Amino acid sequence: MKEFEASITDLSHDGRGVTRIDGKAVFVSGALPGEEVLLRIRKRHRHFDEAEVVELRTRSPHRVEPKCRHYGQCSGCSLQHLDAESQIEAKQRVLAENFERIGKVSPASWLPPLTDQPWGYRRKGRLSVRNVVKKGRVLVGFREEDNPRFVADIEQCEVAHPALGPKIGLLAALLSTMDAAADIAQIEFAAGDDTVALVFRHLKPLSERDLAALTAFGQEHGFAIYLQPGGISSVHPLWPEHPRLAFRIASGRDDVQDVELEFRPLDFVQVNAGMNQRMMARAMELLDPQPTDRVLDLFCGLGNFTLPIARRVAEMVGVEGEHGLVERAAENAMRNGIGNARFEVANLFEDQRHAAWAKQSWDKLLLDPPRAGADKVLEYLPHRETRRIVYVSCHPASLARDAGILVQKHGFRLSAAGVMDMFPHTAHVESIALFERD
């Protein structure tokens, strides 16, 4: 492909440098705003091209040396070459631009960004596995940056939980010796406060020899080993017989007990444990729960927000579409001695306006939807009695759209918003917003 000299003028939503060549947008992996580069076009598209840096002619003052030796090969992180402060500023710009462009709204005030430890933060993830016959070994890691069909050849991961991150190479070596080297499709990891679980997805039954090898690996390195021969319901422990995954959420107040949530290894939990604690504190501050409040938590999952809030209010209801999560949320409520919280199963992407919980009045509302957002719910909620909404978002575009709905249709004002660095060194933007009405 042809090479070009170019000036990088911006950073895209996915963390690539932006320039224009002959009027056409070009997204340049590894380039930063203000840099002069020699680039090579890798892929051409109708409205834009993709490129890589051949030579860095001038260096941004915000460029840093990536900590991970696999950076640039592995797609797990795209911003390790940008200093931490600039990463946050870039995410704030994305959120502000989405509010303005999509929602036609702007917050009355910007919240200070929430940050935590930038390394070893990831307690949940999926590792890809590939048996490379030509190399005579198995690769374990995330997908390659330049070719998502292939698995990056990595030995360690700087952002994975510290009990696992340095041992990726050991996992690959283990699988390379197994009879099922070609039949392990992926490994999911999930870390509680005291236990790290590895879930091996295998396409064929494992031999006794392989089962013994996995058990020995778990015993040596302190991992709970699970097997997944089929769908999610097929996941079961190999060793130990009854592993326990749980994490604690601090209440932040001496007069309020902490909450401990048990979960299964494939359940959705917030990826970043430290940020989850900070996010909870910020959500409590914004929601301002009072002893007489009735609060509705939509997309509640395991009760991550529901149960800590329930400690401070009169009544709490959590609604979630996945039956298993609702069952475990109710179990967590019972285990923590929380009697004023109940949970309902409902597909919140379908019209639920006739459900009993949707007809009731709620003083406050918490939303934590997936990427698609909560626009379907906002067709019939909130009712006029609801005065305050805290919206936790993993996608700035859907938050901006829903902010427009809340402001223009329901008469709320966007009082405050800010980013939360749930995924350091990536372009992923997690945020939180407060909506109020008089």
Separation CA 263–CA 274 (nearest Å):
17
Cα-based distances in Å from 226 to 11, 217, 232, 242 = 41, 12, 12, 11
Separation CA 237–CA 215 (nearest Å):
10
- Select which of 68, 74, 300, 394 is catalytic: 394
Q: Return the residue matching tokens 């575009």.
A: 397
Sequence-ordered list of residues with C-beta below 8 angstroms from that of 330, at least 6 positions apart, any chain: 342, 343
Which tokens go with 143? 């997908």
Helix (H, G, I), strand (E, B) or coil at 72: coil
Integer-rounded Cα Rg, in Å, for the chain is: 23
Closest CA to 376 of 357, 395, 401: 401
Closest CA to 38 of 26, 48, 24, 23: 26
Sequence-ordered list of residues with C-beta below 8 angstroms from that of 178, at least 6 positions apart, any chain: 184, 206, 209, 210, 213
Residue 130 β-bridge partners: 139
Beta-strand pair 36-44/48-56: antiparallel
Cis peptide before 382 (omega within 30 of 0): yes
Residue 50 β-bridge partners: 27, 43
Closest CA to 416 of 101, 96, 97, 84: 96
Which tokens go with 435? 């909506």
Separation CA 283–CA 270 (nearest Å):
14
Active-site residue flag, 68:
no
Residue 184 β-bridge partners: 202
Which amino acids are annotated catalytic?
394
